[in-house]
Amino acid sequence: MFLQKIKKTRKNLLVSVGATLLLSSCGSHKLEKQIDNTLSRGVSQYTYMMKRLPKDKYPKTYYAAKDKLETSGSGWWCSGFYPGTMLYLDEAVKSPVLEGEIDRVLQDLKREQYNTTTHDLGFMMFCSFGNANRLNPKPEYAEILMNSAKSLASRFNEKVGCIKSWDSSDDGYLVIIDNMMNLELLFWASEYSGDKKYYDIAVKHANTTLKNHFRPDHSSYHVVNYNSKTGEVKRKRTAQGYADESAWARGQAWGLYGYTVMYRATKDKKYLDQAVAIAAFILNHPNLPKDKVPYWDFNAPNIPDALRDSSAGSVMASALLELKNYVDKEPSKKYFAAAKTIITTLTSKEYIAEEGTNGGFLLKHGVGHIPEKSEIDVPLTYGDYYLVEAMLRYKKQIK
């Protein structure tokens, strides 16, 4: 009788485990199909967008009420995301139409390699030419990337220990957390050229940011204003978030992604520890929704009615899918599960645009700058870029 009970228990356990594995497998298969459909939708959307896009302009966002596609010139910080997204889409789903548009845009964008007025050359040039060179290495691409790195490095101040983000009319020296995303260009330049100065600048910037941008709970300020002559901190604030002491969601995502890249490039454990700490802040926060797509600010006053920021979710998902490769088994599983949940949410009908809508953008419900009443609940070009990147990373990891 006792042995019969054991056999029955084992049988039930095996059935239960089998059912769990089957459900997990079905869930993964369903998401993989959902991702493939989203990538195909991306190709059709960007084919639609390119037909609406004026010559020498780059997409920023779209306002459905006015059927208005808002654009910029090549000097805007988001200019690299349009060709970058198309490069990722073409990598996933070959498209001669997109390939022609990519070549056209890169020919226009290359003028920004000499732009020393912005810190965003990583976004502008590495998301575009960096991906182009990764997929199809060319001396021309490498030269453009090197010149871009030189332009970015020209904004570094040794006294402050950071690359300047925004210019100031006084002795202020403004640095934003977003700037962590531009350091990957410098690491590439150092490896390609053999010149360690680019590596050293990236490390010094990351160390100064680590020291001054983060609170004890590992959330970050958006902006730190330094004294350009002494390097001392003058003020810490959060320009695009709810309040100076709040945790603006996309800012937390930039930090997570940036310090994950820092660990990849240097193998310095303090950067891994920082990325893990930021991930813990995000994933353990009581205001993070179950579907893991964050509110635009973790401290927004009208949660749960506050707007979500799909762009922040995209960046987080992509970062977590890299970070999972650098940690032990249990946190790795946690990061993968969280990223999977975000991608599942963002590739649902709630967030993915119907074909021929949304101005040609793929992802809906992004939040740009609520305090300035700008780009509120709209598609954002960087939201598309990091979602497509996250989907490609997911597909590679489940093979």
358, 303 contact by CB (below 8 A):
no
The rounded distance, in Å, linking the Cα atoms of 182 and 115 is 14
Take residue 94 and report the two structure tokens written for it.
């070959």
Contacts of 241-245 spanning 24+ positions with Cβ under 8 A: 241/296, 241/297, 241/299, 241/371, 242/297, 242/299, 242/300, 242/301, 242/370, 242/371, 243/299, 245/215, 245/299
Q: Which residues are marked as active site?
A: 120, 178
Take residue 149 and report the two structure tokens written for it.
């790195």
